[in-house]
Structure 1
Amino acid sequence: MTEPKSMERQKGVALWRQIADRIRASIAQGDYDATGMVPPEMQLAEAFGVNRHTVRSALAALGQEGLVRSVQGRGTLIDRKDKFSFPIARRTRFTEGIGEQARNVEGLLLSSGCEPADAEVAKWLKLAVGAPVIRLEALRKADGRALSRSTTWFPAGRFDGIDAAFRRTGSITMALMEQGVSDYLRDVTQVSATHAEPDDVAQLALTPGAIVLVTRALNTDLDGIPIQYAVTRFPADRVEFTIMN
């Protein structure tokens, strides 16, 4: 079993959250695979230089995420669940990519509206700032597990009604087909990681401080014209990315 390394405290981040991040990373790296257990609370407290209450708070948060569970008389067991592998390729499709790994894939429209494009959206979609765009807020699930929440923008002049199409189909690909786009390509994908925001906690059933993977992606039609810009947030403990050529 790998011993936790001493920790440099981060200003503005709760100590229990920092410890939860370190334990989560150790689990992901396989540091505890030999025993399948997180080290005892006292051992973690000594290693991190904190009291047991702080360690207990970190473990409780990880328990709410489903990463660990406390077993009376044994300690804290790692509760592994297989991650979904989300392929990022020239043709990236959520339903197809996840559908091969799940019995049921859902796309739920949380809200939608028409709004003027801000500078970021306008830049990605190559529109004038203030041009009308359709915004969709969506939640995706696989076998009942929330896998992503996304905010997606489409040029309003070309895709009026795409919100209703997505509500009916639960699929961006099928909604685009209803709008006359039978095929499209992934032009850019940017990936980063951050802590969960309040909306992530509520909609993805995460604990405060959980890690989410964030993608910013642009899709174009076959003529290279931008049709969709999306910012999507994935729970890091449920989804991993596979980059495909």
Structure 2
Amino acid sequence: MNEIERGRGVALWNQISGILAADILKGQLRQGEQLPSAQELAARFNVNRHTVRRAIAALEQRNLVRTEQGRGTFVQEHTLDYPISRRTRFTQNMRNLNVEADIEVIEDVREVPPPQVAQSLGLDRHEYTYRIETLSRADGHIVDYSTAYFPAARFSGLPAVYRRVLSVTRTLSEFGVTDYERKHTRVSARLPDANTSRLMKQPANRPVLYVQSINADTRGIPVQYGITRFSGDWVQLVLMADN
């Protein structure tokens, strides 16, 4: 059915939502494809844009579409199952999922970290860390925005190495840390702050998966404190049995 029927006791927005859902489920609207604008849909169904927006909201609740700020509404793709284990590695996870991944460095600074970070890394109150901010993409979509802290005294000059290799594992390896394990992981859902919302191009009212972690070398000495904000639209975290 491609047309709505007035006067049959079913709200117009509900009919429009049903038509578009059928198009998605039949593959007439493909995964990742952009839906027509609210104005175009309003003209197609001869309704106002408020009715169209309510229909789109219903599709979002069913996780059939997603809306990106400033871009439009898209058919939802399947989420990525992102394993979290004792040896969580972004590049390896993406390779296992057979998706093309890349990492963009947003910022790197040398600074005294917040007290919680210093304590987690076993540092004195005024010791320095390197803080590196990155955006990770999979098949062109932003999947996470990460903040990583590394002890500056132990890893002098680390940011330059990281920018060259774009891998935590390879960076630490150049400093003699040939292996490391996840010592601690805490997962929660929270609303993104303004900076996170801007960088991830995600509405401020849509929660992100907020993961705090500590990685330690084979002697149990912390080498990295991380905060990763995953897009709930793209990522499903899978906690592996070895946690």
**Could you tell me whether the CA contact under 8 Å between 1:83 and 1:240 is conserved in 2?**
yes
Give the alignment's TM-score, normalised by structure 1.
0.69
Mapped to 2, the partners of 1:125 and 1:140 lie a distance apart of 24
- Structure 2 SS opposite 1:176: helix
**1:106 aligned to 2:102?**
yes
- Alpha-carbon deviation of 1:183? 0.5
Per the alignment, do residues 160 and 237 of structure 1 end up closer, same or farther by CA in structure 2, a change over 3 Å counting? same
Structure 2: tracts of 5 or more residues without a match: 1-20, 27-48, 68-72
Which residue does the alignment assign to 2:53? 56
- The 10-residue stretch of structure 1 (183-192 or 203-212) with the greater mean CA deviation from structure 2: 203-212
- Alpha-carbon deviation of 1:114? 0.6
Mapped to 2, the partners of 1:146 and 1:161 lie a distance apart of 28
Count of aligned positions:
191
- Structure 1 SS opposite 2:188: strand
Give the alignment's TM-score, normalised by structure 2.
0.70
Mapped to 1, the partners of 2:148 and 2:206 lie a distance apart of 23
Which residue does the alignment assign to 2:129? 133
Q: Quick one: which of 56, 61, 83 aligns to 1:87?
A: 83
**Could you tell me whether the CA contact under 8 Å between 1:61 and 1:207 is conserved in 2?**
no
**Could you tell me whether the CA contact under 8 Å between 2:193 and 2:204 is conserved in 1?**
yes
**Could you tell me whether the CA contact under 8 Å between 2:87 and 2:182 is conserved in 1?**
yes
Structure 1: tracts of 5 or more residues without a match: 1-31, 38-51, 71-76
**Could you tell me whether the CA contact under 8 Å between 1:84 and 1:98 is conserved in 2?**
no
- Alpha-carbon deviation of 1:61? 11
For the aligned residues, what is the CA RMSD?
Answer: 3.0
**Could you tell me whether the CA contact under 8 Å between 2:94 and 2:100 is conserved in 1?**
no
Which residue does the alignment assign to 1:147? 143
Structure 1 residues 7-46: aligned runs within 5 Å: none
CA deviation string 1:99-149 (max 9, x = no partner):
221442112111111111321111111111121111101111111111111
- Structure 1 SS opposite 2:123: coil
Mapped to 1, the partners of 2:165 and 2:198 lie a distance apart of 24
Structure (1 or 2) with the larger CA radius of gyration = 2
**Aligned partner letter, 2:53:** R
**Aligned partner letter, 1:210:** R
**Aligned partner letter, 1:183:** D
**1:199 aligned to 2:195?**
yes
- Structure 2 SS opposite 1:158: coil
CA deviation string 1:194-223 (max 9, x = no partner):
122222222222123122000000000000
**Could you tell me whether the CA contact under 8 Å between 1:85 and 1:98 is conserved in 2?**
no
**Aligned partner letter, 1:56:** R
Mapped to 1, the partners of 2:214 and 2:133 lie a distance apart of 16
Which residue does the alignment assign to 2:160? 164
